[in-house]
């Protein structure tokens, strides 16, 4: 009963505080840690001691897996050099640097000092990326931070295990190399084996409930065998998650992917926020243990401050030289990575629960172990507070911004237009005897998806509804009426529960998609000049077409005026200067002009937009 009440209080606190943090735009990890520290000193809060096995086996695998299945294997490979230098090189550099500081300031063996360095070396997977996403950092930075945090725990734990073995003097350079290779390669092989095994099963399982249950088993199915063969369970979980996420569209049904996404989002939310509350709850017993230390309090405080300073300073000392060694290339949009991005990466070094769990792994015989555990707590709380609070300020000062929502809308419109074109091409090759009304219904429904995306980019008048906005508003009203009718039938007991649940679920799915489109449109109201930084690679028409052209008419669609209809967005032909309306407009005069004239490239004729489109190649430039 007491355990159930404690768990309920823990989940309720996490949910309430995390929800409050979102509402106030605060860092949930930082707020939960502070509340945990204060709660540890309340008389009615029981003492909480984190069992390292609970963290490393019970919490770490699902946390890593939840992050891995949200990550992109393509982006991970594109940034592999930066990720490798941070997750391997920086961890080793930090472990050695902090080890030297510890060896110099405390009477401990060098192996124990390096073991402690490995404890505080890896930044947390959750803290950095949660703050990065909240303040809207560029996706490349988020990818690098996620990739680093996915692998650095493996490197740190291998280094910790090796350093602990060194306390007995049984460590050689060759032995360290063999341990590292066995951990990484063994973990990667196990992760691939688990990914392909689960993939084989998923091809034969179409029930979303069974598929999601299989997904819950995946992180432990990868972690435990890898650790059993002395490989890295962390690497196994990460590899399995990345591969399964990359192959999800071919292995799972749409319903299974949706179910997995929703369930893992809930689990990730609870686990990620719970660990930071647990970090804070460790404060009281850690401080009480240090009272029995033979070292002077002033020396302990000075050591903790020195370790915190070393952890913070060693990161930029590694990041900046490495930046000029690996020379990061442009991203997929052709943009280079400025020095300000490295500044953000070098300051996003918040530690988390793995640091405290790893500190508990230090042998009981380690000299001044209680001081080392306190220092690990100081590093965790200190980096969360110092770097967690100042990172948003630093991003604003350096003008490091996240992706422009309107640029995202433009990319989405391009992708949808390409997919719709492929679908319409497939429709053209279907049975020629198909009922024309069915063919037209399929064509209109497919084209509407692309039209919605194009309409999100800008608008001609703030108070004017686009055709798809009108359609969505009316469809939401229809769905509400449909739901009310179904609920009336339910309350009267005139239908079976299972049938009612299926119908209501279908209505909910459709309405949720309409809500998602509405939310996205709000993000694209304002923005900078919308100019894609690609050159239309592979399209000679975009290369040859001019970037500007004098319009043949004012900013109006003459054809719409003659037909007495309202246009949505205007497009400018870069061959003759004709001004026509977009495909969302009733007349679709820009495309009709292309069909009539054969001029392939047009440009947006809306304020703040500078993108071009080739009708022949369906490419953006």
Q: How many whole angstroms separate alpha carbon 466 and alpha carbon 496? A: 40
Fold of 540-620: Herpes Virus-1 (3.30.40)
Tell me how far CA of residue 39 lies from CA of 270, 272, 277, in angstroms.
19, 18, 9
Q: Where are the domains of the chain?
A: 2-403, 406-523, 540-620
Q: Which of 371, 363, 356, 404 is nearest to 301 (CA)?
A: 371
Averages of pLDDT over each 10 residues, the chain, 621 residues: 77 89 81 88 82 84 89 84 89 93 91 90 75 74 85 84 73 67 89 94 88 93 92 92 89 84 89 86 86 88 95 93 73 65 87 83 86 91 87 86 66 68 74 73 71 60 62 80 85 78 78 63 48 56 78 83 82 88 80 87 78 78 67
pLDDT of residue 79: 85
| Helices 369-397 and 125-135, packing angle to 10 deg | 20
CATH architecture of 2-403: Up-down Bundle (1.20)
Q: Please give the radius of gyration of the chain, using alpha carbons only, rounded to the nearest integer.
A: 29
Backbone angles phi and psi of 360, in degrees to 5: -70, -15
pLDDT of residue 359: 86
pTM across the whole model: 0.77
Cβ partners under 8 Å of residue 596, min gap 6:
none
Q: How many whole angstroms separate alpha carbon 521 and alpha carbon 304? A: 49
pLDDT of residue 220: 95
Task: Tell me the three state secondary structure of residue 612.
Answer: strand
Q: Which strands form 579-581's sheet, in the order they lie side by side?
A: 579-581, 570-573, 601-604, 612-614, 619-620
Sign of the dihedral defined by the CA atoms of residues 134, 138, 139, 143, in that order: negative
pLDDT of residue 466: 66
Q: How far is CA 411 from the centre of its chain?
A: 18
Contacts 24+ apart (CB under 8 A), 299-306: 299/105, 300/371, 300/374, 302/105, 303/102, 303/105, 303/106, 303/371, 303/375, 304/374, 304/375, 304/378, 304/379, 305/378, 306/101, 306/105
Q: How many whole angstroms separate alpha carbon 560 and alpha carbon 582? A: 11
pLDDT of residue 312: 94
């Amino acid at each position: 009963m007491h355990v159930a009440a404690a768990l309920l209080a823990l989940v309720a606190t996490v949910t309430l505080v995390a929800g409050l943090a979102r509402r106030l735009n605060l860092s949930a990890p930082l707020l939960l840690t502070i509340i945990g520290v204060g709660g540890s000193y309340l008389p009615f809060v029981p003492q909480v001691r984190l069992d390292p096995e609970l963290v490393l086996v019970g919490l770490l695998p699902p946390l890593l897996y939840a992050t891995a299945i949200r990550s992109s294997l393509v982006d991970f490979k594109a940034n592999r050099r930066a990720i490798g230098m941070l997750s391997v090189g920086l961890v080793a550099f930090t472990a050695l640097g902090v080890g030297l500081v510890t060896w110099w300031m405390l009477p401990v063996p060098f192996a124990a000092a390096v073991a402690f360095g490995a404890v505080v070396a890896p930044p947390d997977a959750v803290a950095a990326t949660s703050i990065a996403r909240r303040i809207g950092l560029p996706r490349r930075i988020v990818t690098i931070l996620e990739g680093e945090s996915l692998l650095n725990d493996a490197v740190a734990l291998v280094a910790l295990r090796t350093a602990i073995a060194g306390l007995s003097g049984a460590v050689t350079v060759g032995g360290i190399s063999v341990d590292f290779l066995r951990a990484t390669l063994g973990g990667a092989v196990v992760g691939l084996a688990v990914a392909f095994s689960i993939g084989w099963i998923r091809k034969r399982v179409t029930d979303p409930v069974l598929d999601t249950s299989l997904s819950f088993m995946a992180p432990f199915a990868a972690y435990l065998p890898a650790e059993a063969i002395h490989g890295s369970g962390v690497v196994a979980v990460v590899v399995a998650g990345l591969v399964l996420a990359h192959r999800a569209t071919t292995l799972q049904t749409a319903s299974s992917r949706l179910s997995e996404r929703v369930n893992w989002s809930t689990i990730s939310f609870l686990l990620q926020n719970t660990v930071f509350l647990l970090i804070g709850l460790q404060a009281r017993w850690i401080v009480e243990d240090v009272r029995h230390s033979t070292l002077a309090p002033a020396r302990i405080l000075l050591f903790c401050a020195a370790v915190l300073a070393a952890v913070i300073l060693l990161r930029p000392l590694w990041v900046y030289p490495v930046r000029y060694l690996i020379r990061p290339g442009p991203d997929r949009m052709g943009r280079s990575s400025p020095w300000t991005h490295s500044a953000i990466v070098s300051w996003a070094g918040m530690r988390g629960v793995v640091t405290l769990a790893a500190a508990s792994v230090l042998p009981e015989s380690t000299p001044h172990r209680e001081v080392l555990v306190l220092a690990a707590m100081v590093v965790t709380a200190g980096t969360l507070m110092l770097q967690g609070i100042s990172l948003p300020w630093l991003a604003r000062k350096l003008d490091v911004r996240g992706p422009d929502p309107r640029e995202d809308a433009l990319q989405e419109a391009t992708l949808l237009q390409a997919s719709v074109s492929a679908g319409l091409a497939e429709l053209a090759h279907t049975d020629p005897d198909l009922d024309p009304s069915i063919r037209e219904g399929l064509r209109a429904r497919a084209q509407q998806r692309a039209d919605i995306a194009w309409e999100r980019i800008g608008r001609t008048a703030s108070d004017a509804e686009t055709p798809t906005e009108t359609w969505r508003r009316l469809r939401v009203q229809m769905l509400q009426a449909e739901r009310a009718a179904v609920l009336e039938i339910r309350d009267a007991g005139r239908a079976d529960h299972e049938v009612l649940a299926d119908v209501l679920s279908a209505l909910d799915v459709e309405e949720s998609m309409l809500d998602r489109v509405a939310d996205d449109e709000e993000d694209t109201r304002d923005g900078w000049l919308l100019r894609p930084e690609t050159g239309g690679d592979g399209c000679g028409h975009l290369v040859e077409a001019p970037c500007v052209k004098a319009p043949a008419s004012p900013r109006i669609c003459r054809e719409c005026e003659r037909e007495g209809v309202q246009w949505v967005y205007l497009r400018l032909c870069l061959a003759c200067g004709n001004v026509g309306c977009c495909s969302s407009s009733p007349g679709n005069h820009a495309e009709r002009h292309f069909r009539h004239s054969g001029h392939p490239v047009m440009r947006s004729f809306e304020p703040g937009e500078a993108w071009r489109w080739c009708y022949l190649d369906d490419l953006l430039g």
